[in-house]
A and B are shown apart, each in its own frame.
Chain A
Amino acid sequence: MDLTANALNADEFRRLNRREQWVQMNFLVPCLLFLVLFFFVPLAMFLSNAFFDPGFTLEHFEKAFTRPLYMKTLVKTLKLSLTTTIVCVILAYPVAFVITHTSGKVKTAILILVLIPFWTNILVRMFAWLAILGRNGVINSNLIAIGAIDEPISLLYNYFAVVLGMTHYMLPFMILPIYSVMAAIPANLTDAAANLGATPFRAFLRVFLPLSLPGVGAGCLLVFILSLGFFITPALMGGAKDTMFAQIIEIQINQMLNWGFAAALSTILLVLTIILYLIYDRLLGVDRIYGKEGH
């Protein structure tokens, strides 16, 4: 065998392989071009309004951080996101647990029940909640009909309504990541714990629960991130007191026409979001969000 020829071939092979990979990378070009043109550049252009007016300035940020209204709204938004996340995780964990531990038709049925709202227009769901909770809504009219109350009770346009609407929207985003992690836990681990004498509850607490925590963490971060910038539910189901951060950005654009200040508020929101997203990405990888759908 001719060693030089072989070495040459290996070289040639490596060269071709590199070329191949280079060509394949070109398939990314249209997508990158599109997103740069219609996402990254527009975003940068909008956010730059926060810093230039027209010369470099930080006054918009100064206003955002010193006027109590904006920081109060930010705290309120963080609180709403936290509440939504906690309610969601309490409701979602048992559902994900049951999905993991059932099989066949029951499993499919539960997954379908989770996916249907996930893929239903948010405005349809908002309209439904308004129809259920409104003054002449399903709950009030039926309570009056059975004589439980005389006057309609106000269930809408308060903090409770916002949490309810947000929880309903975010729940699938919590269930799916938790389920995707639980599904990967080997079933024989809990069996082993049981064989070694652990009670079912103890086996769950010491074996299953810790192994499922990455999914819980990912789901919580995801729901928190999505809640932070949420606009539609607080706008439709909240009262004046429940104005959230995204809403004050919208007001700055549509009513105050103050693009510079809106950009500063958006920058604050984005920085928070991106920090949380980086943590999320480290923890689980963003592609896990939708990884399980359609099963």
Chain B
Amino acid sequence: MNMNGPLTLPKAILYLFVCLVLFFLIVPNFIVVPISFNESSLLSFPPEGFSLKWYARYWELPGWVDATVTSFVVAILTAITSVVIGSFAAYGLVRGRLVGGKMLSSLLMLPIIIPSLVTAIALFNVLSYLKLTGTLAGFVIGHTVIALPFVITIMTASLRSIDMTVENAARNLGASRLMTIRRVTMPMAMPGVISSGLFAFLISFDELLIALFISSPQVATLPKKLWEGIRFEIEPTLAAVSTLLVMLSLLILAVAGLIQLIREKRGNG
């Protein structure tokens, strides 16, 4: 179908259909914003009046801010751990020509294919044996398992696009392997490192099932609190929290997009 030609009826129908699908996709993301500014305690839309009281409630009710802090700390630590481990693994996958490399990379993707409920139960078992349930370390370990496949995928693509001859040149000029990685490979792979770090952060920040199993009354993440809220008492405070989470996702996507843009401008990576 020639998409640049005049607007014909089939094309008009196609565009309309696609607009409706996109509307369906995006509407839940944005409906939470007006609801969060409601005056009434019903989830009214269009909102009645304007108030920030649900944000105030989020700030004042016990647990929400603590959960937010926990989620942030866990997500940052998960991003660091998974990017370090995952980047090294991607380097090994791309640069080392190992037998069964294809099978290995399929194996490394399993944590995102296997139902997260099963992963969560299995992890819960081991983490409680190690007395790590309800601890930051426990959350970071669990979330790193889920984030690693994403980091490896992004880093593998990023490293593949780097010209290997530059690395070889550095080695020929006498740089050690670690020196080459630090001074040549790392700077070139930086956009990949940052975007995989951002996505690992988001994955951890959004993760629910592991958190359901290993949270303790004292240490819980934001998704766990949201889950309880949705299950037991739906009220506009949840809309306020949701709005904050939507903003966070938008911010991270914007940063990732910006990095992509810079990368394209520079014409490498």
Contact = CB atoms under 8 A, between A and B. Distances in A.
Interface of A: 21-28, 30-32, 34-35, 38-39, 41-43, 45-47, 91-92, 94-95, 97-98, 101-102, 110, 112-117, 119-132, 134, 136-138, 141-142, 168, 171-172, 190, 194, 200-201, 203-204, 225, 228-232, 236, 246, 249-250, 253, 262, 266, 269-270, 273-274, 277, 281, 286-287, 289-291, 294-295
6 smallest CB-CB distances across A and B, nearest first, come from A229-B115, A128-B28, A27-B92, A31-B89, A24-B96, A28-B92
A124 B29 contact: yes
Contact of A31 (B108, B153, B195): B108
B89 A30 contact: yes
9 contacts: A30-B88, A38-B141, A119-B202, A141-B42, A171-B25, A203-B1, A229-B115, A236-B230, A290-B150
Given A236-B230, A287-B157, A281 B106 contact: yes
B51 to A, nearest CB: 17
B96 A131 contact: no
A43 B21 contact: no
Nearest to B227: A123
Q: Is the interface of A mostly helix, strand, loop or mixed?
A: helix
Contacts of B2: 194, 200
B22 interface: yes
Contacts of A23: 96, 177
A167 to B, nearest CB: 8
Contacts of A110: 18, 22
Contacts, number: 262
Given A229-B117, A286-B106, 5 more contacts: A38-B144, A134-B43, A200-B2, A203-B1, A270-B114
B118 A130 contact: no
Contacts of B142: 38
B145 A35 contact: yes
Interface of B: 1-3, 10, 14-15, 17-18, 21-22, 24-29, 31-32, 35, 42-45, 84-86, 88-89, 91-93, 95-98, 104-106, 108-111, 113-119, 121-123, 125-126, 141-142, 144-145, 148, 150, 152-154, 156-157, 177, 195, 199, 202, 205-206, 208-209, 223, 226-227, 230-231, 234, 238-239, 242, 245-246, 249-250, 252-253, 256-257, 259-260
A120 B44 CA distance: 22
B92 A35 contact: no
B125 A45 contact: yes
Nearest to B8: A200
Contacts of B230: 123, 126-127, 130, 236
A290 B155 CA distance: 12
Contacts of A22: 96
A124 B89 contact: no
A231 B208 CA distance: 11
Contacts of A115: 253
Pick from A32, A124, A172, A295 the residue with the most CB of B within 10 Å. Answer: A124
A45 to B, nearest CB: 6
A273 B111 CA distance: 12
A286 B113 contact: yes
B113 A35 contact: no
A94 B14 contact: yes
A273 B114 contact: yes
Contacts of B115: 228-231, 246, 266, 269-270, 273
A116 B1 contact: no
Contacts of A25: 92, 96, 98
A138 B141 CA distance: 40
B260 A294 contact: yes
Nearest to A253: B121
Contacts of B110: 39, 277
A34 B25 contact: no
Contact of B31 (A28, A41, A46, A128): A128
Contacts of A246: 115, 117
A26 B113 contact: no
Nearest to A281: B106
A138 B2 CA distance: 40
A249 B117 contact: yes
B119 A43 contact: yes
